[in-house]
Structure 1
C-alpha cells in the first residue's frame, strides 16, 4: 500500500539524541514518528495511548518509575508483545549486549556509530530480522575470539552495569524486583567470575573480557 507508514516511537533521556533520532526517522520514506519520551514513565504512558510498530529505546534511561535496561525491556515485551524493539546504547560491555539479545532484542545499535543505521534497524526489527551496528558487531566478535571461560549470566551482567552506573545494592534490588540478599550474592558471583575482589575494581571494569552464559540459570528472589 502506498499510504502505509511504519509507526515508530523513540525514547531517550538525552534531548539532543532524542531529537536527532526522531529527525532521522521523520526524513525516511514510509516511517511515521508517533511519539517521543525522555523517561520510562513518559514512555509507558505514550505506549498506552498510542500504538506503534517499532520502539527505538535507549538502554540506559535511569529517570522514571519503570527503571531502564533489562527490567524495562522485559516489561515492554510482556506488556506490548506486538511492539518490536531497537535498542541503542553507549554500553560497551559484551556481556550486557549478549544479555540484550538473550531477552529477544535482535536489533542493537551503538551510539558511537552513525545515525544512518537507525532507519535500517527499524525496518529489520519490524520484519523480525537482526541488525547490529558495526561497533556492536566488533564488541561481540572480540568476545567470541577471546575464548574466555569467564561467563556472566544475564542478571549478573545487568547488576554489574547498574553498580558501575552508581546504583547501590538496595537500589538495584528495587529496580530488578529482587531481594538485597539476592543482588548482593549475584554481585559477588559476578566479581568472582571477573577475578575482582574490590568494589573499586568493579567500577573500573571495562567489560571487554567477559562472555555471557548460555542461560541465566535459576534465580530466586
Structure 2
C-alpha cells in the first residue's frame, strides 16, 4: 500500500459535464491535494489507461439508463479481477438505485454512494472510503439490505433472471413449474423488497441479476440451459 504522503491516482468514469465539474471541485476543496483525478467519459478509455497507470480507486458515476448500469457492473467486475487492490466505488443517481446496486451487485464493492446526498455528506463519505477510514464490507451491506427490505428468495432471483432474457410471466411459470398466480405473487414480493413499483424498475434489477454467477440461483428447472 502506498504511503499516505504519496499522491494517489483516482479514475472517475463520468459522462455528465456538470457532475464532472462538481466532482473535480469536491476533490479540490476536500482532499488536501492527496489525490490526482483522471476523468474518463468511456470505459474503453479507462481500460487503456489502467494498462499504463495503477489507480488507487475507480469511481463509476452512474448516469442514464439500463445499458450504462450494465456497463458499470461489467467494468467494476473486470477491475475486481484484474486489479483486486484497487478500490471500487459506485455513485448512483438516487437512493433507490443505490439499493439495487447494494442488493444485487455481483462483486464486493468498497462503497456505494448516492448523488442525491448533500454535498457535505457525499464529500465526507467518499473521502472516508478513499482514505481507508470507512469501508462497506459484504456483511455491512447484507445487514443493511436485510434490515431495510429483506432478502430475495431463490424463486424471486430466478424470476428476475428469466425477465432479463425476455421471458413473459406465463413462460416463467412454465419454466419453474409453478402456477401463474404464484409467480406473480413472487414478482410483487420482489418489487416490495427492492423498493420498486413498476416493471421497468424490476427489469433494472433483472439487468443486475444477469451478472450474478449462475450458482447464486440453484435448483431452478430450465434456467441453466438458457444461461
Does the alignment reach a TM-score above 0.5? yes
Aligned to 2:9: 7
RMSD over aligned CA atoms reads 4.5
Larger Cα-atom Rg: 2
Structure number with the higher helix fraction is 2
> Any gaps of 5 or more consecutive residues in structure 2?
177-182, 190-196
1:32 aligns with 2:32: no
Is residue 56–residue 88 contact of structure 1 (8 Å, CA) maintained in 2? Answer: yes
SS of alignment partner, residue 73 of structure 1: helix
Q: 2:114 aligns with which of 94, 110, 114?
A: 110
Query: Between Structure 1 and Structure 2, how many residues are aligned?
Result: 185
TM-score by length of 2: 0.60
Is residue 7–residue 53 contact of structure 1 (8 Å, CA) maintained in 2? Answer: yes
Is residue 89–residue 110 contact of structure 1 (8 Å, CA) maintained in 2? Answer: yes
Aligned to 1:99: 104
Report the CA distance between 1:84 and its aligned residue.
0.5
1:124 aligns with 2:132: no
SS of alignment partner, residue 49 of structure 1: coil
Report the CA distance between 1:38 and its aligned residue.
1.2
> Any gaps of 5 or more consecutive residues in structure 1?
161-168, 170-182
1:45 aligns with 2:55: no
1:93-131 alpha-carbon deviations (Å, 9 max, x no partner): 43432223x511031110101233245424424538425
Is residue 22–residue 33 contact of structure 1 (8 Å, CA) maintained in 2? Answer: no
TM-score by length of 1: 0.61
